[in-house]
Structure 1
Amino acid sequence: MTYNNERIVQANGVDLCVETFGNPADPAIILISGAPLTCSMHWWEDVFCERLAAGSRFVIRYDTRDFGRSVTCEPGDPQYSLRDLVADVVGLLDTFGLTNANLVGFGVGGWIGQLVALDYPDRVTSLTLISTRPNAHGPTDPDLPEHTEEFMAHIGKAPGPDWSNRAEVIDYIVDFQCALSNSQFFDKATKYDLACRIFDRAANIVSSMKNPPLIDKGDRWRERLGEVSAPALVIHGIEDPFFPYGNALALEKEIPDAQLIALEQMGHELPRAVWDVVVPAILRHTSGD
């Protein structure tokens, strides 16, 4: 399968694969993926990107390092840190000649968005944080809920796949996404297509699956959230098993004037069933009004 609208750009000194939607003259939105096992640009579905672009936005999605056609490290030895992923976003702004942009980050992509807003405040027009939390994995904050016991039991019950076996890897990714989702929203066909794209586009699927959790997360930033100056929108599923809802409440409380949209019955996902709420909310938030 070919993806004719993708291209490789140099950003922050590395190759990143990007795809754009809409008119470059419109306000820019950079979509930062970060769902577990799926830090591929294709986690942001084509139609989702097209709907944002139809709202007069210039949408940029990209593969994070070790995914898709972006730069890849050897399995087990990621030669980059979380702060490098932050600098990659700034590099993309420079590559596209953008003074600033609206950032939309999901999961770990939300960590990246928070850090760009803190370390490069003049480059961030607005910040949308979906299904994320105010700190990285490591020493836990007692007031923040961790992964649910049910989720941990589910992912711990089966061994990992033979990474050279396409069918096994795809089934593994689909099953993992099912564990993150509320079953009523889970679209197996869509997740299967995404898993196929992840496997088929990966330079090294083992790097894609193994390296992201190993990166150096660097210093904490939760204590700095009061410094965020960009308008912030927090969107979170009440039934999120990966970053439970209490994390969204902390972000709303600790980021000045942050707005929170709680989505009933939604897990760690962005299913089509909620797009009629989420897309207009992002368009309003990025309108500059």
Structure 2
Amino acid sequence: MRASPFAPDRLLAGAFALALAIATVVVLHGDIHPFVDDILRPIAYASLWAFLGIYAFATLFWTYEVVSSWRDYQPPEAVYDPADCQLRILTVDAEAVVQKTVDALPETVAPDDRHVIAEAPIDVDGATVHVVPDDFDSQASNKGRALEWARLNVPCEREFVLFLDEDSHVRSFDGFPDADIVQFREWPAYTGSTLAFWCELVRIGYQAEQQGFGLPGVPLYAWGGGIAVRTSLEDEVTWEYPTLIEDTVFVWRAILEHDAEYVVTADRFRNQAPPSIRELIEQRRRWLSGGLRDEPVLPRRYWALYALRNVTWAFSPITPFLLLIVGYLPGSMPGVHLYHVLSWAMFAYALVWFVRGWRYYDDIAYRHWIAVPLYRSSSPSTRSARRGGSSTSPTPSARPRSAPRSATATEGVGATRPHCSSFLTFVRPDVARHFRISPPPPPERMPAHPELFRRRGDVLADDRGSGSPVVFAHGTFMDRTMFDPQIAELTPEYRCLAYDSRARTDAYAGDYDIDDLAADCVELLDGKGIDSCVLVGMSVGGFTALRVALDYPDRVDGLVLIDAPAGPTTDAERDTYERIVAELRENDLVPGTLARQVAERVTSETTHKERPELLETWAERWETYPGDAVANEYEAWYAKEGVEDRLDEIDIPALVVHGEADVFDIERAERTAAALPDGDLVRVPEAGHLSNLERPAAVNDALSAFVADVYDD
């Protein structure tokens, strides 16, 4: 039986190593005291060389063991369906977190097979909640006690029991190989701390380690993304064992005592990275304290290696930084030049596996690391899929003016339109205050291709199609790509221009208000040679469109308000926004937890269940935004003055589109539509504040009919 306790960035780490490095800097600087010179300095020299030697040995050992195994390992194919399991999610009392995990489950796991094992009463939809009684007596600790209670009290007739942590989201799940224990790998999710997420990427070597040791059939740890155990094996091994690392102990006992077969699958579940460095340290402390108590269940020849691995792995995130610091140590240490070379070599090796980390985790990883500037400067065609949809039903004819003010839109089956090719244009800085835009096209020629304008390494405006112009202004947190489904629908007949507001450009700093945003929109029209247009605005973009229609009435032929209230901010809304702004001001980037809270708040329950990828896609994008950019955007929004008393001045065709599940209640939209002299209301069922993304076909139908109505006249 082979097993490796090492990974390339594990050793020469920990608080003791950090303290030693700091002390050594002091020791190596000049004569301080005879005791220091005669006693401490030689000890420091020897310790530093010992640390480096251990690190080098561990690196070579780990490389041979893991790479040689991992290279030849082929994850076994699934034999059992996902339905052949009972699911048990473990938690203390994290109701909201567990609800997200349950909502993300595939439909193949039947509702009757979804169980939550909690330490306190919680309310979770879509699963059966069991509360472990306080008087349940067990020598197991931590999760082991809950696992043992569930084994005894939750009957299971399925082939496997699949165990998940409270924050494990099932992203891909083909089924179970024919083995006794099936290990799923993990895929970290950013939750607010860039440094903590960074640390998760540092330990990528451990992911390769985990998969690699599927070949010899032994784990270095278990659980990770999730672990499935044959029901019969669970009853034989039990969880009744005093340790904090229940999963590892269970697997080793099953292998040693019952000759169980352990495999690692190719499927990956998603686990949230610790939301802060403090949480990360506490997590590692728990793992370390439990891991050192696992030795009695391991073969004796493995004890020392396992203990060393646990100590060093627990502090692995700071290893590259320690190596970098040590590489700069001055002084008269014997062989100091060789020491510098070797320590830099070890740092470079750790960095290689760091890069391997964000490559392994694909797009979500490199957005939050050094590649963020590269990510933001890449072409939009490589950054985001162009989503478009059109109803399979016949396109409705132009809506007559006498039609009822309230109509219900229905969702059709979407069909993706091909995305036009694009090119990047370098831009003039002198045309508008906040936008760099090229000279307007000649009157006789309107562009039939996207024309993209660069700003802060990103594009500013997307100009597609030809014909009468339709301009799109996005909402808070969003960007111009939120209108891709509508642009794909309209470009065959119209010229569509979607632009990024200040918050998505390098002009996000400083105070500004809705009037400034309205002026920005008009300046963009000037730069693009557009005299007037149908102006479509969502949320704050809708309120901006209202101000354009009021202050520049000759520039707007028709007005479309998507989930955009015309009234002032309420006191309750202001309190909510101010809390969000305060959190944003404290962070360089939008915290992951906040991004996901907002994504859930602005979408409907139906969208949560049917299209969770929509929430995840936008939340991941929001995590790359500067906190101040979104904070300024929010402040401009909630400081606005309502314009409900001026709506009668907008004497042009107007369409109010509103999700029935929007956080801004539908009554506001009804009042807006009623106050507009030529306004109609379209309700979008099962849609929240992002109705054009949640139900694109429904919104496309209404928008197409409206634009045709405006320009046919």
Class of the TM-score when normalised by the shorter of the 2 chains: 0.7 to 0.9
User: Does structure 2 retain, via aligned residues, the 8 Å contact 1:21–1:49?
Assistant: no
Aligned to 1:206: 627
Flag the 1:218–1:19 CA change in 2: closer, same or farther, 3 A.
Answer: closer
Q: Secondary structure at the match of 1:212?
A: helix
Aligned to 2:235: none
Q: Deviations over 1:167-205 (max 9, x none)?
A: x724421321111211211333233323333444x4xx1
1:28 offset after TM fit, Å? 1.3
Partner Cα separation in structure 1 for residue 583 and residue 640 of structure 2: 28
**Letter of the structure 1 residue corresponding to residue 697 of structure 2:** D
Q: Does residue 107 of structure 1 match 2:539?
A: yes
User: Does structure 2 retain, via aligned residues, the 8 Å contact 1:21–1:53?
Assistant: no
Aligned to 1:29: 470
**Letter of the structure 1 residue corresponding to residue 522 of structure 2:** V
Partner Cα separation in structure 2 for residue 40 and residue 207 of structure 1: 16
Flag the 1:70–1:64 CA change in 2: closer, same or farther, 3 A.
Answer: farther
1:42 offset after TM fit, Å? 2.9
Q: Does residue 229 of structure 1 match 2:651?
A: yes
Flag the 1:189–1:220 CA change in 2: closer, same or farther, 3 A.
Answer: closer
1:214 offset after TM fit, Å? 2.1
Q: Secondary structure at the match of 1:215?
A: helix
Partner Cα separation in structure 2 for residue 273 and residue 188 of structure 1: 11
Flag the 1:26–1:198 CA change in 2: closer, same or farther, 3 A.
Answer: farther
Specify the structure having the higher radius of gyration (Cα). Answer: 2
Partner Cα separation in structure 1 for residue 555 and residue 693 of structure 2: 30
Flag the 1:47–1:131 CA change in 2: closer, same or farther, 3 A.
Answer: closer
Q: Does residue 58 of structure 1 match 2:495?
A: yes
Q: Deviations over 1:3-28 (max 9, x none)?
A: 255666656411365332432x3111
1:284 offset after TM fit, Å? 1.7
Partner Cα separation in structure 1 for residue 428 and residue 462 of structure 2: 12
1:127 offset after TM fit, Å? 0.4
Partner Cα separation in structure 1 for residue 432 and residue 665 of structure 2: 33
Q: Does residue 239 of structure 1 match 2:661?
A: yes
Match of 1:71 among 496, 507, 511: 507
5 Å-filtered alignment, 1:241-280, equals 241=663, 243-270=664-691, 272=693, 274-280=695-701
Partner Cα separation in structure 2 for residue 33 and residue 171 of structure 1: 23
5 Å-filtered alignment, 1:93-132, equals 93-132=525-564
1:39 offset after TM fit, Å? 3.6
1:125 offset after TM fit, Å? 1.2
TM-score (normalised: structure 2): 0.34
Task: Give unpaired runs (5+ residues) of structure 1.
Answer: 141-145
User: Does structure 1 retain, via aligned residues, the 8 Å contact 2:569–2:640?
Assistant: no
TM-score (normalised: structure 1): 0.79
Match of 1:3 among 379, 386, 392: 379
Q: Does residue 185 of structure 1 match 2:607?
A: yes
1:98 offset after TM fit, Å? 0.6
Q: Higher relative CO (CA 8 A, sep ≥ 6), structure 1 or 2?
A: 1
Q: Secondary structure at the match of 1:105?
A: strand
Match of 1:15 among 435, 440, 451: 435
Supply the RMSD in Å over aligned alpha carbons: 2.9
**Letter of the structure 2 residue corresponding to residue 29 of structure 1:** V
Flag the 1:231–1:9 CA change in 2: closer, same or farther, 3 A.
Answer: farther
Partner Cα separation in structure 2 for residue 250 and residue 22 of structure 1: 34
User: Does structure 2 retain, via aligned residues, the 8 Å contact 1:42–1:194?
Assistant: no
**Letter of the structure 1 residue corresponding to residue 543 of structure 2:** W
Q: Does residue 40 of structure 1 match 2:515?
A: no
Q: Secondary structure at the match of 1:15?
A: coil
Match of 1:194 among 604, 612, 618: 618
**Letter of the structure 1 residue corresponding to residue 647 of structure 2:** L
1:101 offset after TM fit, Å? 1.1
Flag the 1:51–1:9 CA change in 2: closer, same or farther, 3 A.
Answer: farther
Partner Cα separation in structure 2 for residue 184 and residue 250 of structure 1: 26
User: Does structure 2 retain, via aligned residues, the 8 Å contact 1:170–1:192?
Assistant: no
**Letter of the structure 2 residue corresponding to residue 64 of structure 1:** S
Partner Cα separation in structure 2 for residue 276 and residue 83 of structure 1: 32
Flag the 1:156–1:95 CA change in 2: closer, same or farther, 3 A.
Answer: closer
**Letter of the structure 2 residue corresponding to residue 42 of structure 1:** T
Aligned to 1:143: none
* Greater percentage in helix: 2
Identity %: 22
Q: Secondary structure at the match of 2:591?
A: helix
User: Does structure 1 retain, via aligned residues, the 8 Å contact 2:538–2:563?
Assistant: yes
Partner Cα separation in structure 2 for residue 209 and residue 64 of structure 1: 11
Partner Cα separation in structure 2 for residue 12 and residue 97 of structure 1: 13
User: Does structure 2 retain, via aligned residues, the 8 Å contact 1:181–1:269?
Assistant: yes
Partner Cα separation in structure 2 for residue 254 and residue 274 of structure 1: 26
